Amino acid sequence: MTPALKLTLLLGAAALLACQPGGSENAKIEPSAPEQVETVQINPNVKILTDGALAGTQGYDIIESLTTEIGPRLAGTPEEARAREWGVAKMKDIGLSNVRIEPFTINGWERGVETGMIISPYPQKIYLTALGGSVATPSGGVEADVVYFPTFEDLKNAPEGGLDGKIAYISGRMEKAPDGAGYGPANQKRRSGATEAAKRGAVAVLIRSVGTDSHRFPHTGQMRYADDVKKIPIAALSAPDADQMDRMFAKDQDVRVKIELGPRAVGDRPSGNVVGEIVGSEKPDEIILIGGHLDSWDLGTGAVDDGAGIGISLGAAKVIIDSGLQPKRTIRVVMFGAEEVGLLGGFAYVEAHKGKDLANHILASESDFGAGKVYELRSGLKGGDAFIGELHSQIAALGIEKSTAQTNGGPDIGPMFDEGVPAIRLQQDGTDYFDLHHTPDDTMDKIDKDDVAQNVAAWTAMVWTASETDYDFRGMN
Amino acid sequence: MTPALKLTLLLGAAALLACQPGGSENAKIEPSAPEQVETVQINPNVKILTDGALAGTQGYDIIESLTTEIGPRLAGTPEEARAREWGVAKMKDIGLSNVRIEPFTINGWERGVETGMIISPYPQKIYLTALGGSVATPSGGVEADVVYFPTFEDLKNAPEGGLDGKIAYISGRMEKAPDGAGYGPANQKRRSGATEAAKRGAVAVLIRSVGTDSHRFPHTGQMRYADDVKKIPIAALSAPDADQMDRMFAKDQDVRVKIELGPRAVGDRPSGNVVGEIVGSEKPDEIILIGGHLDSWDLGTGAVDDGAGIGISLGAAKVIIDSGLQPKRTIRVVMFGAEEVGLLGGFAYVEAHKGKDLANHILASESDFGAGKVYELRSGLKGGDAFIGELHSQIAALGIEKSTAQTNGGPDIGPMFDEGVPAIRLQQDGTDYFDLHHTPDDTMDKIDKDDVAQNVAAWTAMVWTASETDYDFRGMN
């Protein structure tokens, strides 16, 4: 791309109507009607930033550093604490200001032994992992007959009491989709499978992993117990092991398994959000918040979830600082802690900032959907079409469409979004994200340099446009 | 394809010369000169058999049965013994005659605990597995500084004594190739890494797995100790963990790891070959041997290695029996035991049959390269071009080329090939075979029904052509 790139955007299918010839160097973008061709101007500073991002490896290098130097960083563990120290050092190294840890306390949980074995009809080992928050089996494990539920709905429709002394197995596949639309439906068994099975008398639960791969990796992830129901252990099987269960039940076999799970609640543990800023030159009190989450599950090294989000958001800040450009508004980068175990960093952030500067947050967004290319822009603004149009014109050249889908800005942004913080999201292609999500296989080799650079470029454009716009996000000006 | 399919084969690049119009219904195949077009006749019985194979799931069903009902079946274990019983039952069920186990004894080896941890500079868990035959570390593990060797050649070129008290890490990647040509070179570190490192004083060895994937699965596989060198433990790292090691050394870091490996030799253990036959109608003493190996490594369920070979060879026998056709020569199907730990079934077979019927084996072949489509025919015949041409004309329609590459017929055929048994091989596309090879991920979901059916079809054509041909393989007639 040339420095003074002029973009011809085709808006709608029946284009080539009402062509407006190229504007002047600083032409303002006209609100576009559908089915019009419009020539828009990339802001020269956006051009500098996106060029810098596309030519560099700012984001990739940060992901590599985090996964190599820290690796797994389960919420509340010493590894997450080391990651916070890493985050502070990295932010300072990049040149952010006001770098600090905002600590909070969580209920810690740690994984223990986990083994699984089909006892009959066909004895063989099964690969499984405890879901986050699960209680343990009795020491030595639990052995029981298995009752098969093709889907979580089938379990919910089962009568009470029918599972006394049994292990419930919930199958069901997750569908692939660029925006991960299959995750919510598939995830119900992970969140509520233990509760629904316990209501019916089960002693433990196995689920087919919530994932889209077919590798021998079980996918962990947080589960929840209802307050008034007995807590029973729950684990996920890898897809090939779930296939094995399905094959046995398809042959109408009686299946008996033995599993041992040793996870435990470990009481109060420290977590924290790592915060740093590029202080705005003209409106320093108006805050644009970007970030990812610093914690990961314990099985992998948290490259796509969410080393990528840390690298993309902090990488964008680095590109801005390295460019020498000074944003008018303050860019605040947050590495959220303890996201995986309940968005605890996002809630803690609101608790720490509510009644203080939270009302000054004019826009917030989190990158937490892997390292695939951004393909569309989603809005969580009330109104804000003018800003969305302004921003879209700056990122369309990166292959990003405008979407009508709404967003709350990402998992850790949700709590502040609910408090009125305007949100936006650069939706990534997550078609393969759930192949790796919450598995040991979430490692650095899965990160593509060019994809990360495209993300960083889009984030610089988003941040810069938001920092310079005349659009009044919250009626503050 | 129609029952009386006439195939127009394009032989060589500058074809369309010297065209011979279609022959009569039973036209004999003419020896073909290069750059000629020839019209050949598929033997009607071959047509029946290949059609039956392509329309069915005979091979696939056997692989599914073996992996589902038995699963992992490490040589010498009760699981391998169960697999032999399964094999006997399956052969009888299919209708083979003279079904028996030919037992032999091996030195057993079993896996124990295996853990790995980077101690410094960046503490995190590493995923590893002991190589087959490895000794254990001291109980509690061994912690030591690591010395990096980019390749096995670099280790071999290192001076003696330089590794006193160290752990040697041997990196180096395996290249993908349809015929697995990268395996031999990459495998040197697996076979001889412990010996070469021990000569130089090392206390343990880590290697980058011999494999072509980038998943968090270490690849096991047999290693060997030299008689006169101290035995030290050796384990393979998954590719992402090897990447982590490489990144640390690329940063010129001092790396220290702790590993604990608990494998042990367990003394004499039973193994055996499972043998069954379709007895020839005219020349029952002339034996065509086909098979695969029944044992697998302990980590996966042995679907591609070598459930596939069991399914393909036994599936071919089933197709022949189900067709009602009676081969002139005897078709002997062998499920070899203890292949993974040193081709022990292949050697035991020679020991059991030498001086008896081994001289009557007119052709032998093993399927042991996964479940990918057959793409070329390789010969291990002395002379035999006429038969190769005859056979190729019967399988070319399956997309199989003639190759000039030589073969010994497969791992378990090697020992009998060395005793003079003519061999042949239907070379499979193994481009992705080493993604799964010797890992936990070698499971049924990786098996493609259509690919297996193409294999079974090719094997029926091969077996039938060999059973009916006038070609005199060993000058017996």
> Among B74, B111, B124, B129, which would you mutate to test the A interface (most chain A Cβ atoms within 10 Å of its Cβ)?
B124
Closest-CA distance of chain B to residue A162, Å: 28
CA atoms within 13 A on the CB side of A182: 17
Distance CA B46, CA A26 (A): 76
Q: Which residues contact A311 (CB under 8 A, 6 or more apart)?
A: A58, A59, A60, A61, A62, A63, A66, A292, A371, A452, A456
Would the CB atoms of A68 and B248 count as touching at under 8 Å?
yes
Q: Which CATH number fits domain A42-107+269-468: 3.40.50.1360, 3.40.630.10, 3.30.1300.10, 3.90.1530.10?
A: 3.40.630.10
CA B261 to chain A, closest CA, distance in angstroms equals 17
Of B70, B121, B216, Cβ closest to residue A440: B216
Helices (H) and strands (E) in chain A, counts: 12, 18
Handedness of CA A318, A321, A325, A330 (dihedral sign): positive
- Across the interface, which of B71, B244, B440 has its CB nearest the CB of A122? B71
Tokens of A89: 């050092």
Q: How high is the pLDDT of residue B39?
A: 62
Out of A64, A72, A445, closest to residue B125 by CB = A72
Half-sphere exposure (Cβ direction) of B51: Cα atoms closer than 13 Å: 13
Type of residue at A1: M
A390 by DSSP, 3-state: which? helix
Q: Are the C-beta atoms of residues A337 and A271 closer than 8 Å to each other?
A: yes
What confidence score (pLDDT) does residue A38 get?
Answer: 52
- DSSP reduced 3-state for B33: coil
The distance in angstroms from the start CA to the end CA of chain A is 36
The alpha-carbon radius of gyration of chain B (Å, integer) is 24
DSSP A304: I
What single-letter amino acid sits at A200? R
Q: Do B441 and A71 touch (CB under 8 A)?
A: no
Domains A42-107+269-468 and A112-262 share a fold: no
CA B419, distance to chain mean position in Å, is 20
Dihedrals φ, ψ of B236, to 5°?
-105, 140
CB neighbours of residue B384 within 10 Å: 18
Are the Cβ atoms of A445 and B239 closer than 8 angstroms?
yes
Q: Domain ranges for chain B, please list them.
A: 1-41, 42-107+268-468, 112-262
Q: Which residues of A touch B122 (CB under 8 A)?
A: 68-71
Q: What is the DSSP annotation of A143-156?
A: EEEEEEESSHHHHH
CA of B119 vs chain A CAs: smallest distance (Å): 12
Nearest-CA distance B454 → chain A (Å): 23
Q: Which fold has domain A112-262?
A: Glucose Oxidase; domain 1 (3.50.30)
In angstroms, rounded to a whole number, what is the distance separating the alpha carbons of residues B245 and B116?
12
Q: Which has the closest alpha carbon to B340: B223, B190, B215? A: B223
**Each residue's pLDDT tens digit in chain B (477 positions)?**
333 333 333 333 323 333 333 333 333 444 444 444 456 789 999 999 999 999 999 999 999 999 999 999 999 999 999 999 999 999 999 999 999 999 999 999 999 999 999 999 999 999 999 999 999 999 999 999 999 999 999 999 999 889 999 999 999 999 999 999 999 999 999 999 999 999 999 999 999 999 999 999 999 999 999 999 999 999 999 999 999 999 999 998 999 999 999 999 999 999 999 999 999 999 999 999 999 999 999 999 999 999 999 999 999 999 999 999 999 999 999 999 999 999 999 999 999 999 999 999 999 999 999 999 999 999 999 888 999 999 999 999 999 999 999 999 999 999 999 999 999 999 999 999 999 999 999 999 999 999 999 999 999 999 999 999 999 998 776
Q: In what order do the strands lie in the sheet with A167-170?
A: A124-126, A114-120, A256-261, A142-149, A167-170, A204-208, A234-237, A128-130
The CA dihedral of A440, A443, A446, A452, to the nearest 10 degrees, is: 130
> What is the ipTM metric for this complex?
0.90
| A122: chain B residues, CB-CB within 8 Å | 68-71
User: What's this model's pTM, rounded to 2 decimal places?
Assistant: 0.91
Q: Which residues is A9 bridged to in the sheet?
A: A38
Q: Which residues does chain B have within 8 Å of residue A68's beta carbon, measured at their own beta carbons?
A: 122, 244, 247-248
pLDDT at A39: 62
CB contact under 8 A, B217 and A214: no
- Hey, which residues does A402 pair with through a beta bridge? A377
CB-count exposure of residue B230 (10 Å: 0-12, 13-18, 19+): middle
Q: Of the candidates B332, B461, B320, which has an alpha carbon nearest to the alpha carbon of residue B390?
A: B461
Interface test with A, best of B67, B68, B217 (most A CBs within 10 A): B68
The answer to whether A339 and A106 are in contact (CB under 8 A) is: no
State which residue of chain B sits closest to A127, comparing Cα positions: B440
Roughly what angle, to the nearest 10 degrees, separates helices A44-54 and A449-468?
160
Which residues have a Cβ under 8 Å from the Cβ of B410 and sit 6 or more positions away?
B365, B366, B367, B368, B423, B425
Contact at CB, A217 and B216, closer than 8 angstroms: yes
Residue A458 near residue A376 (C-beta atoms within 8 A) = no
Of all helices (H) and strands (E), which one includes residue B120? Answer: strand B114-120
Instruction: Note whether B80 and B271 are within 8 A (CB).
Output: yes
Q: What integer pLDDT is reported at residue A475 of this predicted model?
A: 79
Give me the CATH topology for the region B42-107+268-468: Aminopeptidase (3.40.630)
Q: For chain A, which residues score pLDDT lower than 70?
A: 1-39, 477
How, if at all, do strands A401-406 and B6-10 pair? Answer: unpaired
Structure tokens at A439: 């598995």
Interface probe, candidates A171, A304, A445, chain B, greatest B C-beta count within 10 A? A445
Residue B401's pLDDT is: 98
A208 torsion bin: left (phi>0), alpha (psi -120 to 50), beta (else):
beta
Nearest CA in chain B to A299: B125
* CA proximity to A469, closest of A368, A381, A388: A388
